[in-house]
Structure 1
């Protein structure tokens, strides 16, 4: 193998290894789908503290943000559905044909869960956003404007 190819491959391997290791260095307290209630509470507190520090919130605003984060997490849990949602989905493809009626029923159940919690989330967000001053609202707008997803940065 030519030396420049070997060096190039070694450099590429080093870059990929460093990228993978740096990706592991982020905040590790993920309150994901299977997190315990304690982990979820710890994650909510982390999110509230982080946003509060960036927006320079006072205690009343921080309390409204905590309510909003709690409502969002409750809506997410309702959307996740039953603990056996994965098994239900596997049941849709267990036979030789896809169970379209079963899939539609799962979709209706998830949609109903979201629709029942959405007014609470909207009210909590409205209370939080209305409590912000003009400078803080501008920061929120700027964040939402620049937050376009992974592939459309900048």
Structure 2
């Protein structure tokens, strides 16, 4: 599979996660960049309950959604742990007289390879959740995604 297809798949999964999460209205703990595992679990539970109430999910569907969200958090943590900060990497690329093209290409190749390695499990988990929805629930998801035209909008 080509790396750009994998990247598009991961982006689609992240968009779906963002569309479901409704993070802007949740104030009971935080599941963000520096959250503890307990905060992440609390946030994940909140997201599952919020989506469950909007889509009328049964327990099996809630479990699949929770699995997807846990995989997304784990993959994000693995991605962040496996690389130095993007800012430090960019500073290294521009530290000399010329932009380090080979270094930039190596960085992008490493990132694409990591995405290609880790994304199938995340995509499969999202697909398992979506495929478990009935036609009405899937229609609600599509409608919500069509109405939502950017971050932090209704």
* Pairs within 5 Å for 1:34-45: 34-45=34-45
TM-score, normalised to structure 2's length? Answer: 0.70
Matched with 2:115 is 114
TM-score, normalised to structure 1's length? Answer: 0.70
Structure 2 counterpart SS, 1:84: coil
Structure 2 counterpart SS, 1:116: helix
Count the aligned residue pairs: 129
Matched with 1:52 is 52
1:31–1:39 Cα contact (<8 Å) kept = yes
Q: CA RMSD in A?
A: 2.5
Return 119-128 or 90-99, whichever deviates more: 90-99
Unaligned runs of 5+ in 1: 1-24
**Distance verdict in 2 for CA 1:33–1:101, change over 3 Å:** farther
1:129–1:137 Cα contact (<8 Å) kept = yes
- Give the C-alpha shift of residue 72 in structure 1: 2.0
1:73 aligns with 2:38: no
- Give the C-alpha shift of residue 111 in structure 1: 1.2
1:102-124 CA distance string (max 9 Å, x none): 12111112111211122112211
1:44–1:69 Cα contact (<8 Å) kept = yes
- Structure number with greater CO (CA < 8 Å, separation at least 6) is 2
**Distance verdict in 2 for CA 1:94–1:81, change over 3 Å:** farther
**Distance verdict in 2 for CA 1:97–1:33, change over 3 Å:** farther
Mapped to 2, the partners of 1:110 and 1:143 lie a distance apart of 31
1:120-149 CA distance string (max 9 Å, x none): 122112211121122111111111221221
Tell me which structure has the larger Cα radius of gyration: 1
Mapped to 2, the partners of 1:26 and 1:141 lie a distance apart of 21
Mapped to 1, the partners of 2:146 and 2:101 lie a distance apart of 38
